[in-house]
Structure 1
């Protein structure tokens, strides 16, 4: 056989062998698994791809405190209608009560440190959860219907996109609810809000400033003739103010004066309690400014 033909023959054989042994790349295999919901077997159960518990679990994880409901502004980009895995979702940004029953799963080390829908980094040891339509951020009480255990979590992510799942909880939340080893559990989800004094939670939205009644009480924190002065005063207060009161802090213009106020609170007693806790001037105004 002539050298030229021998060389062409060897090239043909090599290409044929390569074609027979070609495999998918790791990224392509992972994407296919994600789309199909395929799970890999771990020593202590089945987890999505490489997910599962962390190699090192913090001590006393059951003592991690529940999330504390706060008034927080909604994140616009995280609450737009969206589609995932062939399904369409429209987040509910209203203040309507929400109660539902279903099954909850949890997500762990594979997603630890990754960006959530809220833009925050996922912390598997924090009391957070993912839900397809509850506002981001918002808060919910989750009860394990199998053992009666209950926790409060902060919604900061989207998912799970599985017709048989209602919510994805953080590892810590699932741990406190007692279903880490089972992988999922029947749950009840109730949306909650901070009560007026910030110490308790409510299952319906307390009256907001836009719906304030004549019985509402406010704390007057300063009154100024110039808006810039009022804004500077409010900025100074914000530095020392607990973040859960941020949504209640504002400036009202009346008769040419700019008043920095905190509220509303349902009663003068509730307003005075907050004033004492914040160590601010106890100037309570009934019915707003």
Structure 2
């Protein structure tokens, strides 16, 4: 998910594995398989915002989960929420793939990913630079980079003005169906104070493993955008879920989920971020949990070296686990 611009931290890693994507001066750099569509609909800026409505919370997408050793507890109430940080976006690589909710990601719908807002729920996202606001429907999880608070669809990023730069400082505020009489439209609001106080969701205790199931919730209604000719998304270099005896050695655990859809969605996102990684990322079923991991590595030192590279790229460190775990 991203998110248009490559991280400076990743540049050093890429130097040993090949040159990063090139772009003409003044234009953003995208991952080879991601970015905007080849043909952008002319009316993309006219796609209406998501309309807040009362929907039942997804039965499984709101259960606590762990990513890079950090645990998150999604909100399961109607309390208000407001935070500031960076917004980024994800594009064609995930177009047509399942989100954490089981719904199919549509880069032309007004949707977003958030670490802890309920799935589904709605949020107003306001640019701290321009004051422009949009309303999106949260149906996915992420982003997991430090300092980033929300991942927008491509259409939402275009309307907010961050599709070009790839990210931007925003304020995220949860909105409800009861707010329908208040200002929810995509219109500039009074400029918000430019200082950005990054809000990071605090860790919580890892939960007991729940049952695994998937429930699909329909997307918020929106007019279908103009047809776009896009190449079929290429599959990421990832492994299908396995239940098998483990080989001896050490593994890097990136996350643990009760839902296989959540695990596979997270695996795909990580695979795109770790462009220098040449081994498949596995989803392994262990009881009622689905672990996202790499390995095995013969020695702990070898596993630690890869973990350090991942930390430099993603700002999170995987957990080194023995094969018996």
2:103 corresponds in structure 1 to: 120
1:159 corresponds in structure 2 to: 142
User: Where in structure 1 do 4 or more consecutive aligned residues deviate above 4 Å?
Assistant: 36-40, 198-202
Partner SS state of residue 129, structure 1: strand
5 Å-filtered alignment, 1:64-75, equals 64-75=47-58
2:45 corresponds in structure 1 to: 62
2:70 corresponds in structure 1 to: 87
> Aligned equivalents of 1:85 and 1:49: distance in 2?
25
5 Å-filtered alignment, 1:41-60, equals 41-43=21-23, 44-48=27-31, 50-60=33-43
1:208 corresponds in structure 2 to: none
> Aligned equivalents of 1:184 and 1:160: distance in 2?
12
TM-score when scaled to structure 2?
A: 0.49
5 Å-filtered alignment, 1:1-289, equals 40-43=20-23, 44-48=27-31, 50-195=33-178, 200=182
- Residues 41-89 of structure 1: CA deviation (Å, up to 9, x unaligned): 2523233452100111111111000000010000011001111233211
- Residues 161-181 of structure 1: CA deviation (Å, up to 9, x unaligned): 111211100000010011111
> Aligned equivalents of 2:107 and 2:160: distance in 1?
14
TM-score when scaled to structure 1?
A: 0.54
Structure having the higher Rg: 1
- Residues 134-158 of structure 1: CA deviation (Å, up to 9, x unaligned): 0000000000111111000000000
- Residues 193-237 of structure 1: CA deviation (Å, up to 9, x unaligned): 0128x55579xxxxxxxxxxxxxxxxxxxxxxxxxxxxxxxxxxx
> Aligned equivalents of 2:139 and 2:32: distance in 1?
22
Partner SS state of residue 79, structure 1: coil
> Aligned equivalents of 1:120 and 1:95: distance in 2?
22
> Aligned equivalents of 1:42 and 1:94: distance in 2?
45
| Number of corresponding residues | 169
Q: Answer 1 or 2: higher relative contact order, Cα 8 Å, separation at least 6.
A: 2
> Aligned equivalents of 1:186 and 1:142: distance in 2?
10
Gaps of 5+ in 2: 1-5, 15-19, 185-219, 222-325
2:244 corresponds in structure 1 to: none
Kept in 2, the 8 Å contact 1:140–1:153? The answer is: yes
Structure number with the higher strand fraction is: 1
Gaps of 5+ in 1: 1-32, 203-242, 245-289
Tell me how far 1:37 sits from its aligned partner: 6.5
- How much is the aligned-residue C-alpha RMSD, in angstroms? 2.4
Kept in 2, the 8 Å contact 1:140–1:189? The answer is: yes
